[in-house]
Amino acid sequence: MGQRGKANNLLAGVNACVEAMKEGREIERLFIKKGTRSETLSEMMSMARERGIPISYVPIEKLDRLTRVNHQGVVGVASLIEYGILEDLIPFLYEQGKDPLILVLDRVTDVRNFGAICRTAECMGVDAVVIPDKEAAQVNVEAMKTSAGALNRIPVCRVQDLKKSIRFLQNSGLKVVAASEKGSEAVYKTDLIGPLTVVMGSEEDGVSDALIRTADLLLSIPMPGKTDSLNVSVAAGMFLYEVARQRGLSTK
C-alpha cells in the first residue's frame, strides 16, 4: 500500500510515508486529504509531529496534481538533502577556528528565491542556512536546480522556532543583524566582522516583528531610486557580499 510517485521525492500513500520516516528519511511536508481518517494515518501523524514535519490538509485535487499514483489521500514530499542540527554545527565551527556566518531566512517561500539565495550564500562563505519548519520553501528539484548545486554543499538547518534559534545564536556569541527598510544604519557602514547571523525576511512583508525585536541591529540597503524594495534574493546577495568584503574576499 503506497509507493513512490514519479518524482523521486514524492511518497504516495500512508505506508510509504511511514516507512520513509522509520528509515530516517527527511520529509519536507505531508499533504493529507481533508477528512481522511484511519488508524495507520493516526500513527503517521504522530510520527510526523514527533519529527516536526509540517502537515497540510488539502482538497483531493491538490494531491491528484502532485502525483498520478494511487495516493490514498496522503502524499509526502521527501527532502533531497539531509538537514543539519544548528546546536551541533555552531560548536563545531568554533572548534575549527572559524567565526560562524549564519543566514536565517524568515518565511522565504518561493523555491527559486530560496535556491538562488543558497547559491549566493555558499559563494559568499556562509556556514549554514536556517529555515523554519513551516512557511518555508520546499527543498525540491526546482530549488536544487536554482541553487546550481549549492544545496549539496551548504548545511541547511530546519528549526521549529526561529526566535528561539536566534536566541541560541546570540547566546553562542553571534551578533544578529536583520535586513529591514526600517534600519537606521546602512549595511556598509556597520562592522560585520566576527561571529554573525544575517536575517532576511519574506517576499511579502520582510522580517517579522518578533525577529526584528530580537535582532541586535536593523540594517538597511540605501536605494537612491524610486522603487522602495528589492527582491529578497538580490537583497541577500548585497548583504552577504558586504560581509564577505569586510572579512576579506579571497578566491578558493
Render pLDDT for 154-172 as a digit per residue (tens, 0 to 9). Answer: 999 999 999 999 999 999 9
How does the average pLDDT of the chain come out, rounded? 91
Question: What's the pLDDT score for residue 8?
Answer: 58
What are the Cα distances from residue 219, in Å, to 45, 121, 130, 187?
41, 18, 19, 5
- Which range is least confidently modeled, 3-12, 44-53, 175-184, 207-216? 3-12
Question: What's the pLDDT score for residue 1?
Answer: 38
Cell, residue 41? 494515518
Judge contact between 116 and 149, C-beta under 8 A.
Answer: no
Question: What's the pLDDT score for residue 228?
Answer: 79
Counting runs of H as helices and runs of E as strands, what totals does the chain give?
Answer: 9, 12
> Which domains, from first to last, does the chain contain?
3-78 (3.30.1330.30), 86-247 (3.40.1280.10)
- Strand-pair partners of 67: none
Question: What's the pLDDT score for residue 233?
Answer: 96
What tens digit of pLDDT does each residue of 60-95 get? 999 999 998 899 899 999 888 989 999 999 999 999
Cell, residue 7? 518524482
C-alpha span between 220 and 228 (Å, rounded): 11
H-helix or E-strand containing 240? helix 232-247
- Which range is least confidently modeled, 119-128, 192-201, 219-228? 219-228
Question: What's the pLDDT score for residue 38?
Answer: 83
b vs e for 37-60, b when ≥16 Cβ sit within 10 Å of the residue's Cβ?
eeebbeebbebbeeeebbeeeeee
Q: Read off the pLDDT band of 250 (50, 70, 90).
A: low
Question: What's the pLDDT score for residue 133?
Answer: 87
For residue 5, pLDDT over 50 is answered with no
Question: What's the pLDDT score for residue 2?
Answer: 43
Question: What's the pLDDT score for residue 6?
Answer: 41
Cell, residue 73? 489521500
Above pLDDT 70, what percent of the chain?
96
What tens digit of pLDDT does each residue of 23-65 get? 888 898 899 999 888 888 998 999 999 888 889 999 999 999 9
Question: What's the pLDDT score for residue 206?
Answer: 93
Q: Read off the pLDDT band of 113 (50, 70, 90).
A: very high
